[in-house]
Amino acid sequence: MKLISVDTEAIEQHYAVLNRIGPVDGDPDNGFLRAPYSAAETAAISYIQQVARAAGLNCRFDAVGNLIVATPGSFSAWVETGSHIDTVPGGGNFDGTAGVVAGLAALLAIHSSGTVLQRGLRLRIWRGEESACFGVTSIGSRAAFGRLDASALMHNYAGRSLAEAMLEQGADPELIRAGRPAIDKHERDSIAAFLELHIEQGKVLEACGKDIGIVTAIRGSKRSWVNLHGTFDHSGATPMGPEFRQDANLTMAYIMVRLDQLLRQANSEGADLVQTAGLVNPPQQPGSSLPLGENAITKISGAACFSYEVRGCDAESVESYCDRAFALIRETAEEFGTTVAIETFSDQAGIPNLNPELQKLMTESCMALDLSYTSLPSGAWHDAGTLAQQVRGDGTTIPVGMIFIPCYNGISHSPDERSTPLQIARGASLLATTMIELASI
C-alpha cells in the first residue's frame, strides 16, 4: 500500500482564502452564508477551480453547475471524492467544506507524487447540499443524476426561485424541469467508487479520542407536520378535564411525552432510530391555515402544531415505527377531544449499508497510516447517500464510502463549528491513501 501524507500547511492555505468567502457581516466569528446557487457559493467553487487548474488538473462544470476536477488522462473507470461548499445561514466553514478541501488536497498530493494510475481520480463539488435555504437537500447531486423533482425549481429564497438562482449562476434549470440527468450513463457507469470526507457533526469521535470514523450507514428521515384542532374557550370559566376542554396544546404535550416513551421502547427492542419535534407552533407553517395566532394567555388553545421527524438507516424500520407513532398521535388526540391531521412533507430513505469492501480498505489504510478509528453510522444525510442510490447499467449500485473526522464538541450548523487543520489533514491523508489504492487496481 502506497501511503500519501497531506500536511496541515496545505489545509491552512485553502482555509485562509475560503474564510474570506461568505462570512456573515464580513466576520467569520458570525458564521457563514454561502447559499445554494449564490455568488458566494460560486466564488468558493471558483477558488477550488483556480487552484486545481494551476496544479495541472482538468476542470469542467456539468449543466447544473457542479464542478468536476480530474487528473489528466483517459480512463475507463474513475475513483471519485466530493462534498459541498454551501452553508446554512450562520453556519460554520467545515460542514461540507472540509470534505472539499480534503478532496482537493488529496488529488493534488497524488498528482504531485507522479504515481501511474490505472483509474482516474475526480473531485466533485456538489452545489446546494443544504436544505435550509430552498427547502431541498442535495440539489446538485440529485440533479446530476436526474433525481430532483421539478417542483423544487419553484422554491424561493431571498426573493428568487431556485430556477432563477440557477440561471444567475450559469446553471440550466431546464434539465431538471425535463427530468434529464447532467451526468450521462457512460459517466455514471464509469464511477468505480465514491468517497466523501465530512465532519462528524456529533461527539462520538471526540469523546472516544479517535482520529477517524469509518461510516457504516446513513440515516434517512421522514418529516411531517402534526396539526391539532381543539376548541377556543375561556381559561378561567371552563373546568378542567377533556369532557370540558378540548385543549390542543395539552394534547400536544401528552403526545410528545408518549412519543418519547414509544421510541425508547422501540430502540430497546432493537430499532436504531431518533425522533425530534423541532418546531412547535411556528408562526408561519408553509401552506397552513391553522389559527395559531388566535391562541392567547386567557384562552384554552384551539390550535397546536409541531414538526415531527424520525431518522433511521433502514427505511422499513422508519416506516414501521412511524405507523405506530401516527396511531399513538391519533389515539391521544381522540382521548383529549381534539382532531389531528398528519401531513408528511419529506420522506428520504436512508442507506442501511455503505460498501463493506471500501470500509475494509479504509480500515487497512487507517492502520497503515497509524490513525486511530472507529465505525459508526451517520446521523445526517450527505451527498454520498445520493451516490449510493444510483444504479449503474450492469444493475449494481455505485460503491460508496464515508470518512468522518472530529469536530469540536460535536457542534455543527453554528459559528462555533470547527475542526483543526491537523484533523482535516489526517482525514485527507486517509482519503488520498484509499483513493490511490483503488486507482491502482
Can you tell me the distance from the alpha carbon of 419 to that of 407, in angstroms, rounded to the nearest whole number?
A: 5
Q: What is the pLDDT of residue 40?
A: 98
What's the mean pLDDT when you consider all of the chain? 96
Neighbours of 381 (CB within 10 A): 20
Q: What is the mean pLDDT of residues 46-61?
A: 98
Distance CA 175, CA 172 (A): 6
CA–CA gap between residue 7 and residue 325 (Å, rounded): 49
**248: closest CA among 326, 300, 308?**
300
pLDDT of residue 441: 79
Residue pair 387/353 in contact (Cβ under 8 Å)? The answer is: no
Q: Cell 468558493 appears where?
A: 44
Dihedral sign (CA 266, 218, 33, 99)? positive
- Residue 178: the pLDDT is 97
* Shared fold status for 8-218+351-438 and 220-348: no
Which string of b and e fits 137-162 if b means at least 16 CB within 10 Å?
Answer: bbbbbbbbbbebeeebbebebeeebb
Q: Are 355 and 399 contacting, i.e. CB atoms less than 8 angstroms apart?
A: yes
Q: What was the pLDDT predicted at 306?
A: 97
Query: What integer pLDDT is reported at residue 286 of this predicted model?
Result: 64
Grid cell 491537523 is found at: 422
Residues 145/386, Cβ–Cβ less than 8 Å: yes
SS3 239: coil
User: Nearest-5° angle of CA 402, CA 181, CA 191?
Assistant: 40
Strand, coil or helix: what is 22? coil
pLDDT of residue 48: 98
Write a three-state SS string for 99-130: HHHHHHHHHHHHHHHCCCCCCEEEEEEECCCC
pLDDT at 264 over 80: yes
**Domain extents in the chain:** 8-218+351-438, 220-348
pLDDT tens digits along 283-322: 876 667 889 999 999 999 999 999 999 999 999 999 999 9
Give the CATH number of domain 220-348; options: 3.30.110.30, 3.30.70.360, 3.40.50.720, 3.60.20.10.
3.30.70.360
Mean pLDDT of 347-366: 97
- Give the residue from 273, 105, 79 showing the smallest Cα distance to 192: 79
User: What is the model's pLDDT at position 288?
Assistant: 72
Evaluate whether 386 touches 141 at the Cβ level (below 8 Å).
yes
- pLDDT tens digits, one per residue of 86-136: 999 999 999 999 999 999 999 999 999 999 999 999 999 999 999 999 989
What is the per-residue pLDDT for 383?
Answer: 97
* Sign of the torsion formed by the C-alpha atoms of 282, 283, 286 and 290: positive
Encoded amino acid at 362, one letter: M
Cα 268 to chain centroid distance, Å, stands at 27
| Average of per-residue pLDDT across 328-350 | 96
Tens-digit pLDDT profile for residues 194-242: 999 999 999 999 999 999 999 999 999 999 999 999 999 999 999 999 9
Alpha-carbon distance of 317 to 301, in angstroms, equals 34
Mean pLDDT across 154-167 = 97
pLDDT at 289: 80
Average pLDDT over residues 336-346: 95
Architecture in CATH of 8-218+351-438: 3-Layer(aba) Sandwich (3.40)
Query: 16 pLDDT exceeds 80?
Result: yes
Residue 386 has pLDDT above 90, yes or no: yes
